[in-house]
Structure 1
Amino acid sequence: MSKRIFDLFFSLIGITILLPLFLMIAISIKLDSPGPVFFRQVRVGRFGCEFKIYKFRTMIIEAEKMGKQITIDNDQRITRIGRFLRKYKLDELPQLLNVIKGEMSLVGPRPEVPKYVYMYTHEQRRVLEVLPGITDLASIKFRNENQLLKHNHNPEDFYIHEIMPQKLKLNIEYIEQMGLSFDLLIICKTLLQVIAT
C-alpha cells in the first residue's frame, strides 16, 4: 500500500466516524464566541508550495493581528472552548480535509508559516521534500510546547532558536526512516499521548 492510498483510506474513514464530533465542536465554537467555525492559515508545504491549513477556530476573531503567530499557554486570545480543543488536539482534526486534497499526509513534518520557513538553513529545508503531516515525532516530543514558551521571557526568540531547530532535526530523522510501519507507530504514540492527557 502506498502512503497516498494509506492517507486517503484512513482520512475518509476518520471523517466518516468523526462527523458527529465535528458537528458538536462546530456548535460549541459558535455558541462560545462570534466568528467562523474554521480557521485557515497559510502554511508551507512540499517543495515550498503554500497552502491553507484547516483548523477548528480556537482564538478570537483577527487574533493574528493582535499578537505573534505562536501562542503560549495563557494566551488571552484563546477562547474558552479553544483551550479544550487545543488540550486534546481536536482543533487539528479538520486537517483530514487537507490530507484528502493531497496537501498533507497523516504523518509528516508539521507545516510552518512562511515567516519561519524563510529562516531554515539549506539542510533544514530537506523537510520540504515530503508532504507535511498532521502529526510527527516533534509533535510528540513537544506536546507541551505552549507551556515551554509560557515560561520564557521572549517566547518567539526561544521558539526560533531552541525549539524549531530540535523539531527540524526530528523531522529529518523521520524522513530518513519513513515508511508505513513507522507512520503507524507515530500515529499510535500520538493517540496514546492524547488519551493520557
Structure 2
Amino acid sequence: MKAFYGLPEVERLPGRALAIGNFDGVHRGHQAIIEKLNTEAARRCMPSCVLTFEPHPRDYFAQLTGRAAGAVKRITSSEEKLAALARYGVDQVLVLPFDRWLASCSSQGFIDAVLVRGLSAAYVIVGDDFQFGAGRTGNFDTLAAAGHRTGFDAESMPAFPAQGARISSTLIRLALARGDVATAEQLLGRELSQGRKPRAQLFG
C-alpha cells in the first residue's frame, strides 16, 4: 500500500475508486466500506484509495477554539490506522491535512479541488451519515448530484448494526471509556493493541 500526504504528491492516474472518512479504529463498519471499495476498484481496473484527514477535524476545531474537551480520544494512532487499512487490502491512502483551507472549503469546492482535479475520482463511497464542507453543509445527496454532473459514481453504505446500534467510532470510544474492552473489540472485529486497552484491563 502507498501512503500520500497532501494532494501535490499524489500520483496522477486516469481514475480512482475512493472512500472518504476519518476511519478511526477501522472498525467493522469501515471494513464493510473497504470491502465494497476494493470490489468496485477491481471491477473498474483502478486502484482503491482511502481519503482520510489529519488531524481529526474535531481536534482541529478544539485547538482553534481552545476547548480541549472537544478533542477526540483516538482509537488508533495514525500509524495503526494505516497498518489496518493495508491489512484490509487498500491500494492507496491519501492523508489530507485538515487545516484552515479545508475547514473553510465549501462542499462544492472540496469536490472540485480534491475529488475531481486532485484525485480524478471515478467512484466514491461514503457512510450514510457522511457530511462535508464548511459548516458540514454537504451530504451524500450533494456528492451524488456533483458526481452526476462531473462524471463520477457515488454510493452510500448503510449503517453496520451490532447489538441493536450502528457501529461507530463514538460507540467504541464509549465502550473503552467504561473499560468494556470485549464490546470494543467486538465492534472493531479484532483485538486492540495492548497500548490502547484501558489500564484496568491490562493490570487488573
- Going by fraction, where is helix more abundant, 1 or 2? 1
Q: TM-score, normalised by structure 2?
A: 0.25
Compare relative contact order (CA 8 Å, sep 6+) and give the higher one, 1 or 2. 2
- Going by fraction, where is strand more abundant, 1 or 2? 2
Q: TM-score, normalised by structure 1?
A: 0.25
